[in-house]
C-alpha cells in the first residue's frame, strides 16, 4: 500500500470525529450560539463510551450514552449562556474545562486500556477499484456519519426546520416577533451539538484509536470549531474540510513510515499549523464570511 | 407551533442600573456553590468530605511552609490573569496564555542553556525580560492573524498553545536535552545567577512575587485611571462607539495581546528561573487556562484578581494535598475550576438582572 | 354602532419607572381604518405590542369579538386573526421572499408563490417571490410584510408608522391598498404621528399622550390644529427663522466619490458630490437604506477610503479620505450618529465617561490619565445647558430615555465648538418640545457661522432647517436643491428615483 492509498483508505475514518463535532457545532452556530466547549464535550463522550464498551455494553449503547452525557453537559451551557445570558465565550471555555476534568476523573482507572473497534464494511464492487477502493471500506459508524451529513444538508436545503434555525440565527428579535420560541429552539440546537460532540468523542475512543488516554482528544474539538469557519457554515464545505484534516492527521503517520527526517513534534503540530494557516486565508475574505456568516452569533437574546 | 409553557419559571429582568452589591458578592457566592457541588461529587465518589475539605481548604493555611507554596502558585496565576483581564475587558479573547507562558519559559531558558557558565547578577533580570518578549512575540502572531487576516483570536491563540507544547517537547527531546540527564526530557539545571533571588528564607517564594504585585498595581492604574485603558474598555463594551470616537480597533487588539503575551511570558520565565530551575515538560500545570478563570472570578478587575489568584492557588495546593491525604484524583481540581467559573457566570448575571417570579394571574388587584 | 371587533378596557403597562400605558380604552369597529395618533414616546408602540401578544399588560382586559383574550404570544394573536406590520421590519435578509412567508404560513412552496402573486395583483402589492430580501427596496420589503400578514387571513391588521419608510408618492398607493383591504372586510389599526395622513384615510382616531387616551374622534371632523393640540397638549412651537446668509468657507466638500463596501449587504455609493459651507445647513433627504449609513461612516471617518482614492473628501480644506475618525475630529469636525446606544454612547458607562468619548481633547485628561473632576464638570454643564433629564452625571447612558440621551449627545458634540457639525436623524424618538429645541439650536449655530450637515428621513424637518437639500437614492446623490424654491413633491420624486429616470429619458 503506497502513501496515497493509505491516506485515501484512512481519511474518512480520521475525518469522522472532526465531521461529527463540526456539523453539531454548525447547527449550534446557525442558530446564533457559540459553544466553545466542544473539546470538553468530546472528551466526556469519549470516556463514557469507552467505559461502557470496556465493560461489555457494546458500541451502540456506548455511542448512545456518550451522546446523552455530552448533550447533558451542553444543556448546562444552555442554561447558563442562554438562560442567564452569560458571556458565551467564557461559558464555553468553562464547559470545556469541566468536560475535560470530568473525563479525566471518570477515566482515571481506565488509563491506557484498549477495546476492540468496529469491523469494516466494504461496498461490493466499488471497494475493488484500484487506488480509491479503500474509500469504500469503512466501519458502520463512518457510513452512519456520512448519512447524517447528507441528512443535515437536506434539512438546511429543503425543510422548514432548517429555515427556522437560519432565521433565528440571523435575526432572533424578528423570529420572536413572528412567534418562534427563540430560546427553546436555541437550547435544542445546543443539545444537538452536544450529542454530536459526544458521538465524535465516542468514535475517537472506541472505534478509531481505540483506547482511553487522558487528553486523547488533543485539540480535535477546537479544530472542529475552526472547521465551521472554514466551511463557512455550509455542510458540504465542512465535509471537505473534515476530509482535509483527516488526511493531514494521516500524513504524519505516512511521513513517519517513509522515514523522512522530520521531527515527530512537527508532524504532530501539523493539524494545528494547517488550522492557523487556513483560518487566516478564509477569514481574510471578509465578504465571504459576512455573506455566509450568522449575524447574531454569540449575542445573548433579550426581548 | 406554540410557545412552550414557561409560566412557572421566573424571568430575568434587566435592572435599571448595575448592582454593585451583586458584583461584590458574586465571587464568594460562586465559590461557596462550587465547593458544595464538588463536595457532593466527592461523596458520590466515596471520599470522606471532611478529609477533603481539610486537605483542600484548610491545610494550605496551616503552616507557613504550605502557605508559602500558595504564594508561589499565586504568582504566575496572578500575572497571567492581569494580562488576560485587560484583553477580556477589550473583548479580545486571548485564550492562548498557556502557549505564551511556554514561549516565555523557552526564551528565558536560552541563556542558561546556551551559556551555562555565565555569571553575574544581570542574568536573571535579562531572562525575565527575554521571557516577556518571547510571550509577547508568540501573542503577536495571534494579533497579526486577527488584525490583518480577520481570523478569530480565540482559535488562533489556542492552536498556537498546542504548537508551543510540541515546540517545548522538541527542544527537550532534542537540542536542549541535558546530556548528563539520563535521557530525561529536561534541560540542564540553571546556574546560580540564572535564578531569581529568594524573598523569604526557607521557602521557594522569590522576588518575582514583588514584581507581580507591582505589575498588578500598574494594571489597576492602567485600567481604572488611564485614558488608554478607558479606550480599551469602550472597545470591549461598544465596539461601534469606539469606532465612532476614533479609537483604533487594530491598536486595541495589538495592545491587548501584547500585554497578555508579555505577562504570560514573564510568568513562564519566572517559573523556570524560580521554583523549577530548569526547563521541563511540565513547566505549566494549566496556568494559562486556570488564569482565564482567575481573571473572570476577579471580575476582570485588577484588585479582584489579586484575591481570585489566591483562591485558585489554594485550590492547586489543596488539590495536591487532597490527592495524597484523601486519595482524590488531581483531575478533581480541573472539575472544580470548571464548575467555579460556571457558578461565577451565573452569579454575575445578577449584577445586570434580577429574577422576577411569575404572578398568579395577569390581572392584579388594584 | 356594531359590536367592536377589538375592545380594550383599562390597559396599563409599565417598564420599571416608565408608565408606557395607563388605563387605555380602545374600540376598533369591524371594517374600519382606525388611527392611533400620538407623538414619539406617547405609548403607541407599547399598546400595539400588547394587542399583538408580544408583551402582556400589567392590568386591564382585551376583548376580541366579544370574548376576553389573554394573548401569550404573537403566534396566538395570529391564530385569532390579528396581524402586524412592524416599523422596523421583521424580515430575514438572507432568505428569499417566499422563504420568509413559509416561516409564517403553512403550505407548499409552489402554492405559496402563486398566492403571493395573486395577493399582489388584488391589492397592488407586486413583488418577486423568489428575490432575496436583502436585495429589495424598503418599499418592497413593506409589501412583503403586508403580504405575509394577509396570507394568514387576518381580521385586524396593525401597521406601525407604515408611511415613515415611504416617499410621498408611494403613500397614496399604500392608502389605496388599505382601502381595498377595508372594503374586503379587514379592520386596520394605523399608527402614526402624521396628522394629514390620518385625516386622509382613517375613519376613527384615538389619541394618546404620555400613555393616556386624550381623545377619541372622527379625524375628518377636526382640523390638524385640533388634533395636534390633543396630541401634544399645547400649540405647536414656532420654528426659528433662519437669517439669510451664504458664501462662507467650504468646510466639507465631497467630489465624485465612489465606494464599494466590504459588506455584501451594504449599499455601494457612486459619484457622490456635495459641499457644505460655513453658515449653511445642507440636508440629505431619502428613504433609509439608500446609502445613508455608508455615506455617514465615510464622512465621519469610521470607514476610511483606500490609499489610492485621493482628493475625494475634503474637510476644512484638507484631503481627509484616509483619515480616521479621531484625525477628522482634530480638524474641527463633530458628529451625532443616528444610533445613540452603542455608537454615540456606551450604554453601560456613566454620562461622565461618555463625555470623555469625544470631548477628551477639551482637557479632560492629563498625562495620559483621566481627569475625573474636569470630566464631571463638563458633563454637568452639558446636562444643564441641554436640559438632559437624568438623576445625575453618574447615571448610565443606557438608563436615559432616547430623547434625553439624544440631547446629551447633541450637547456634547456642540460643546466641542466644531467648525463642521454633522447630525444624522437629529430628532428620532425625541418628543416635540425637545425636537424643536434641537432644531432651534442648529439654526442658531448656523447663524453664528457653523457649517452643518443633516441627514433626516423627515422631510418636514429638512424643510424647516436646511438652506439646501440633496436626495440620496440607490447610492447616488441628486444635485442640491434650494429649499425655499422647492416643493416636497419634487423631493419625493427624487426619493423614488423618478427624477433621474425622467432625466435619462430626456437625455
Cβ <8 Å between B167 and A101: no
pLDDT, tens digit (0-9, with 9 covering 90-100), for B85-115: 999 999 999 999 999 999 999 999 999 999 9
Rg (CA), chain B: 23
CB C250 within 8 A of CB C314: yes
pLDDT, tens digit (0-9, with 9 covering 90-100), for C249-270: 999 999 999 999 888 888 899 9
pLDDT, tens digit (0-9, with 9 covering 90-100), for B122-151: 999 999 999 999 999 999 999 999 999 999
pLDDT at C223: 80
pLDDT, tens digit (0-9, with 9 covering 90-100), for B269-297: 999 999 999 999 989 889 999 999 999 99
- CATH class given for the domain over C237-332+418-507: alpha beta
Query: Taking 60 as the threshold, does the pLDDT of residue B365 lie above it?
Result: no
Mean pLDDT of chain B: 92
Which grid coordinates are listed for A53? 464498551
Residue B361: pLDDT band (50, 70, 90) is very low
Query: Taking 80 as the threshold, does the pLDDT of residue C17 lie above it?
Result: no
Task: Give the rounded percent of residues in chain B with a pLDDT score beyond 90.
Answer: 78
Cβ <8 Å between B335 and A98: yes
Query: Taking 90 as the threshold, does the pLDDT of residue B258 lie above it?
Result: yes
Specify the DSSP element, H or E, that contains C36: strand C33-37
Which of B226, B237, B244 is the closest to C300 by Cβ? B244
pTM for this predicted structure: 0.91
Of B113, B108, B270, the C-alpha closest to B191 is B113
- Residue that has been written with the C-alpha cell 450637547 in this structure: C411
Cβ <8 Å between C90 and A173: yes
Domain boundaries, chain C: 6-232, 237-332+418-507, 347-413
Task: Tell whether C265 is within 8 A of chain A (Cβ).
Answer: yes
Residue B1: pLDDT band (50, 70, 90) is very low
ipTM for this prediction: 0.94
Task: Give the rounded percent of residues in chain C with a pLDDT score beyond 90.
Answer: 49
Mean pLDDT of chain C: 87
pLDDT at B3: 40
Residue C66: pLDDT band (50, 70, 90) is confident
Of B323-327, C5-9, C500-504, which gets the smallest average pLDDT?
Answer: C500-504
Q: How far apart are the first and last CA of chain C?
A: 58
Residue B23: pLDDT band (50, 70, 90) is very high
Query: Taking 70 as the threshold, does the pLDDT of residue C246 lie above it?
Result: no
Task: Give the rounded percent of residues in chain B with a pLDDT score beyond 70.
Answer: 96
Task: Tell whether A96 is within 8 A of chain B (Cβ).
Answer: yes
Domain boundaries, chain B: 88-298
Task: Tell whether A80 is within 8 A of chain B (Cβ).
Answer: yes
All domains in chain A, ordered by first residue: 3-118+133-292 (1.10.3470)
Task: Tell whether A157 is within 8 A of chain C (Cβ).
Answer: no
* Residues of chain C with C-beta less than 8 angstroms from the C-beta of A179: 73-76, 78, 104
Highest averaged pLDDT of the listed ranges B98-107, C166-175, C186-195, C467-476: B98-107
* Residues of chain A with C-beta less than 8 angstroms from the C-beta of C102: 160, 163
pLDDT at C243: 62
Residues 6+ apart with CB under 8 A from C118: none
Residue A114: pLDDT band (50, 70, 90) is very high
Q: Across the beta sheet with C156-160, what order do the strands follow?
A: C82-85, C156-160, C187-192, C33-37, C204-209, C212-217
Q: Distance, in angstroms, between C95 CA and closest chain B CA?
A: 21
Handedness of CA A50, A56, A59, A64 (dihedral sign): negative
Q: Across the beta sheet with C67-69, what order do the strands follow?
A: C18-28, C6-15, C59-64, C67-69
pLDDT at C241: 59
Which of C54, C102, C264 is the closest to A163 by Cβ? C102
Of A147, A161, A160, the C-alpha closest to A235 is A147
Q: What is the SS3 string spanning B244-313? A: HHCCCHHHHHHHHHHHHHHHHHHHHHHHHHHHHCCCECCCCCCHHHHHHHHHHHCCCCHHHHHHHHHHHH
pLDDT at C115: 92
Cβ <8 Å between A166 and C93: no
Cβ <8 Å between A167 and C91: no
The larger pLDDT score, comparing residue B326 to residue B275, is at: B275
pLDDT at B363: 41
Which of B155, B156, B342 is the closest to A98 by Cβ? B342
Cβ <8 Å between B364 and C58: yes
What would the mean pLDDT of C6-17 be, rounded to a whole number?
86
Which of C16, C59, C343 is the closest to B244 by Cβ? C343
User: What angle, rounded to 10 degrees, do the helices at B287-297 and B20-44 form?
Assistant: 130
* Helix, strand, coil share of chain A (percent; to 5): 75, 5, 25
| Separation of alpha carbons A58 and A185, rounded Å | 32
Query: Taking 80 as the threshold, does the pLDDT of residue C311 lie above it?
Result: yes
Q: Does domain C6-232 have CATH number 3.40.50.300?
A: yes
* Residues of chain B with C-beta less than 8 angstroms from the C-beta of A101: 331-338
pLDDT at C499: 64
Interface test with C, best of A85, A169, A175, A178 (most C CBs within 10 A): A178
* Residues of chain A with C-beta less than 8 angstroms from the C-beta of C306: none
pLDDT, tens digit (0-9, with 9 covering 90-100), for C69-118: 888 878 888 888 998 887 666 889 889 999 999 998 888 889 999 999 99
pLDDT, tens digit (0-9, with 9 covering 90-100), for C115-155: 999 988 888 788 899 999 988 877 788 889 888 888 888 99
Amino acid at each position: 500500500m503506497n502513501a496515497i492509498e493509505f491516506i485515501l483508505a484512512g481519511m474518512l475514518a480520521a475525518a469522522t470525529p472532526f465531521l461529527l463535532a463540526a456539523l453539531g457545532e454548525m447547527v449550534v452556530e446557525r442558530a446564533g450560539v457559540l459553544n466553545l466547549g466542544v473539546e470538553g464535550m468530546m472528551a466526556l463522550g469519549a470516556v463514557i463510551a469507552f467505559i461502557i464498551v470496556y465493560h461489555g455494553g457494546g458500541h451502540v449503547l456506548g455511542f448512545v450514552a456518550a451522546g446523552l452525557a455530552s448533550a447533558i453537559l451542553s444543556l448546562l451551557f444552555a442554561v447558563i449562556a442562554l438562560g442567564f445570558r452569560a458571556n458565551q465565550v467564557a461559558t464555553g471555555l468553562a464547559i470545556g474545562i469541566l468536560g475535560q476534568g470530568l473525563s479525566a476523573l471518570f477515566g482515571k482507572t481506565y488509563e491506557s486500556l484498549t477495546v476492540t473497534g468496529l469491523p469494516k464494511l466494504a461496498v461490493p464492487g466499488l471497494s475493488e477499484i484500484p487506488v480509491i477502493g479503500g474509500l469504500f471500506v469503512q466501519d458502520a459508524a463512518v457510513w452512519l456519519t456520512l448519512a447524517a451529513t447528507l441528512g443535515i444538508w437536506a434539512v438546511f436545503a429543503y425543510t422548514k426546520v432548517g429555515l427556522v434555525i437560519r432565521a433565528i440565527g440571523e435575526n432572533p428579535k424578528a423570529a420572536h416577533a413572528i412567534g418562534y420560541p427563540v430560546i427553546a429552539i436555541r437550547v435544542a440546537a445546543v443539545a444537538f451539538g452536544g450529542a454530536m460532540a459526544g458521538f465524535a468523542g465516542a468514535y475517537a475512543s472506541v472505534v478509531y484509536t481505540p483506547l482511553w488516554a487522558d487528553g486523547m482528544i488533543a485539540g480535535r474539538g477546537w479544530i472542529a470549531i475552526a472547521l465551521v469557519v472554514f466551511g463557512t457554515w455550509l455542510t458540504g464545505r465542512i465535509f471537505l474540510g473534515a476530509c482535509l484534516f483527516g488526511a493531514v492527521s494521516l500524513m504524519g503517520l505516512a511521513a513517519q513510515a517513509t522515514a523522512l527526517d522530520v521531527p515527530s513534534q512537527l508532524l504532530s503540530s501539523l493539524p494545528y499549523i494547517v488550522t492557523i494557516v487556513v483560518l487566516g486565508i478564509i477569514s481574510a475574505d471578509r465578504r465571504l464570511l459576512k455573506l455566509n456568516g450568522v449575524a447574531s452569533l454569540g449575542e445573548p437574546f433579550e426581548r | 407551533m406554540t410557545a412552550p409553557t414557561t409560566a412557572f419559571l421566573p424571568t430575568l429582568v434587566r435592572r435599571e442600573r448595575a448592582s454593585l452589591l451583586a458584583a461584590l458578592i458574586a465571587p464568594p457566592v460562586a465559590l461557596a456553590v462550587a465547593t458544595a457541588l464538588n463536595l457532593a461529587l466527592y461523596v458520590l465518589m466515596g471520599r470522606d468530605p471532611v478529609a477533603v475539605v481539610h486537605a483542600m481548604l484548610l491545610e494550605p493555611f496551616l503552616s507557613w511552609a504550605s502557605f508559602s507554596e500558595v504564594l508561589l502558585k499565586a504568582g504566575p496565576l496572578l500575572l497571567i490573569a492581569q494580562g488576560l483581564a485587560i484583553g477580556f475587558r477589550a473583548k479580545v479573547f486571548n485564550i492562548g496564555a498557556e502557549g505564551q507562558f511556554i514561549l516565555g519559559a523557552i526564551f528565558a531558558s536560552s541563556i542558561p542553556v546556551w551559556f551555562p557558565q555565565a555569571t553575574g547578577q544581570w542574568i536573571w533580570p535579562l531572562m525575565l525580560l527575554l521571557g516577556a518578549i518571547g510571550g509577547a512575540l508568540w501573542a503577536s502572531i495571534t494579533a497579526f492573524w486577527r488584525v490583518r487576516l480577520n481570523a478569530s483570536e480565540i482559535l488562533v491563540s489556542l492552536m498556537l498553545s498546542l504548537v508551543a507544547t510540541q515546540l517545548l517537547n522538541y527542544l527537550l527531546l532534542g537540542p536542549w536535552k541535558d546530556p548528563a540527564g539520563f535521557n530525561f526530557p529536561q534541560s540542564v539545571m540553571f546556574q546560580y545567577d540564572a535564578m531569581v533571588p529568594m524573598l523569604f528564607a526557607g521557602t521557594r517564594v522569590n522576588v518575582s512575587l514583588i514584581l507581580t504585585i507591582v505589575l498588578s498595581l500598574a494594571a489597576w492604574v492602567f485600567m481604572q485611571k488611564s485614558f488608554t485603558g478607558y479606550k480599551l474598555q469602550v472597545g470591549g463594551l461598544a465596539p461601534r462607539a469606539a469606532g465612532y470616537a476614533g479609537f483604533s480597533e487594530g491598536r486595541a487588539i495589538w495592545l491587548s495581546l501584547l500585554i497578555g503575551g508579555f505577562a504570560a511570558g514573564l510568568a513562564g520565565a519566572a517559573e523556570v528561573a524560580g521554583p523549577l530551575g530548569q526547563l521541563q515538560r511540565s513547566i505549566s500545570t494549566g496556568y494559562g487556562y486556570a488564569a482565564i478563570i482567575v481573571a473572570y472570578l476577579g471580575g476582570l478587575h485588577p484588585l479582584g484578581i489579586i484575591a481570585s489568584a489566591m483562591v485558585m492557588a489554594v485550590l492547586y495546593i489543596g488539590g495536591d494535598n487532597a490527592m495524597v491525604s484523601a486519595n482524590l484524583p488531581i483531575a478533581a481540581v480541573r472539575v472544580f475550576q470548571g464548575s467555579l467559573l460556571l457558578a461565577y457566570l451565573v452569579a454575575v448575571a445578577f449584577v445586570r438582572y434580577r429574577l422576577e417570579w411569575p404572578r398568579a394571574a395577569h390581572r392584579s388587584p388594584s | 354602532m356594531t359590536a367592536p371587533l377589538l375592545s380594550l378596557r383599562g390597559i396599563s403597562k409599565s417598564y420599571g419607572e416608565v408608565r408606557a400605558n395607563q388605563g387605555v380604552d380602545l374600540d376598533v369597529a369591524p371594517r374600519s381604518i382606525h388611527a392611533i395618533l400620538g407623538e414619539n414616546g406617547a405609548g403607541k408602540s407599547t399598546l400595539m405590542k400588547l394587542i399583538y401578544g408580544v408583551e402582556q399588560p400589567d392590568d386591564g382586559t382585551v376583548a376580541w369579538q366579544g370574548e376576553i383574550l389573554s394573548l401569550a404570544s404573537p403566534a396566538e394573536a395570529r391564530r385569532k386573526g390579528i396581524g402586524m406590520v412592524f416599523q422596523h421590519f421583521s424580515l430575514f435578509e438572507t432568505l428569499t421572499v417566499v422563504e420568509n412567508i413559509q416561516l409564517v404560513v403553512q403550505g407548499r412552496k409552489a402554492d405559496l408563490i402563486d398566492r403571493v402573486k395573486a395577493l399582489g395583483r388584488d391589492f397592488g402589492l407586486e413583488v418577486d417571490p423568489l428575490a432575496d430580501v436583502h436585495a429589495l427596496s424598503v418599499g418592497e420589503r413593506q409589501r412583503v410584510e403586508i403580504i405575509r400578514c394577509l396570507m394568514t387571513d387576518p381580521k385586524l391588521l396593525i401597521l406601525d408608522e407604515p408611511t415613515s419608510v415611504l416617499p410621498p408618492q408611494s403613500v397614496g398607493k399604500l392608502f389605496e391598498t388599505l382601502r381595498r383591504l377595508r372594503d374586503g372586510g379587514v379592520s386596520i389599526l394605523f399608527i402614526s404621528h402624521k396628522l394629514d395622513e390620518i385625516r386622509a384615510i382613517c375613519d376613527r382616531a384615538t389619541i394618546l399622550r404620555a400613555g393616556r387616551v386624550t381623545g377619541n374622534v372622527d379625524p375628518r371632523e377636526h382640523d390638524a390644529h385640533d388634533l395636534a393640540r390633543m396630541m401634544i397638549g399645547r400649540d405647536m412651537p414656532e420654528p426659528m427663522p433662519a437669517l439669510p446668509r451664504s458664501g462662507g468657507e467650504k468646510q466639507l466638500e465631497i467630489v465624485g466619490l465612489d465606494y464599494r463596501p466590504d459588506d455584501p449587504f451594504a449599499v455601494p455609493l457612486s459619484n457622490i458630490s456635495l459641499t457644505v459651507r460655513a453658515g449653511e445647513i445642507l440636508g440629505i433627504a431619502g428613504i433609509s437604506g439608500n446609502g445613508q449609513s455608508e455615506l455617514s461612516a465615510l464622512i465621519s471617518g469610521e470607514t476610511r477610503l483606500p490609499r489610492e482614492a485621493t482628493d475625494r473628501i475634503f474637510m476644512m480644506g484638507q484631503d481627509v479620505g484616509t483619515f480616521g475618525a479621531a484625525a477628522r475630529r482634530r480638524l474641527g469636525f463633530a458628529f451625532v450618529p443616528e444610533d445613540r446606544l452603542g455608537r454615540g454612547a456606551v450604554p453601560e458607562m456613566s454620562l461622565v465617561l461618555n463625555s470623555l468619548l469625544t470631548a477628551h481633547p477639551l482637557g479632560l485628561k492629563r498625562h495620559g490619565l483621566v481627569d475625573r473632576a474636569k470630566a464631571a464638570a463638563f458633563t454637568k454643564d452639558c446636562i444643564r445647558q441641554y436640559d438632559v433629564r437624568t438623576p445625575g452625571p453618574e447615571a448610565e447612558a443606557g438608563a436615559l430615555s432616547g430623547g434625553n440621551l439624544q440631547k446629551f449627545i447633541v450637547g456634547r458634540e456642540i460643546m466641542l465648538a466644531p467648525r463642521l457639525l454633522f447630525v444624522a436623524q437629529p430628532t428620532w424618538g425625541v418628543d416635540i418640545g425637545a425636537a424643536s429645541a434641537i432644531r432651534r439650536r442648529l439654526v442658531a449655530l448656523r447663524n453664528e457661522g457653523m457649517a452643518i450637515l443633516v441627514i433626516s428621513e423627515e422631510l418636514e424637518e429638512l424643510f424647516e432647517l436646511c438652506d439646501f437639500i440633496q436626495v440620496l437614492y440607490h447610492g447616488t446623490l441628486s444635485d442640491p436643491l434650494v429649499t425655499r424654491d422647492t416643493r416636497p413633491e419634487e423631493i419625493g420624486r427624487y426619493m423614488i428615483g423618478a427624477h433621474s429616470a425622467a432625466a435619462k429619458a430626456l437625455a
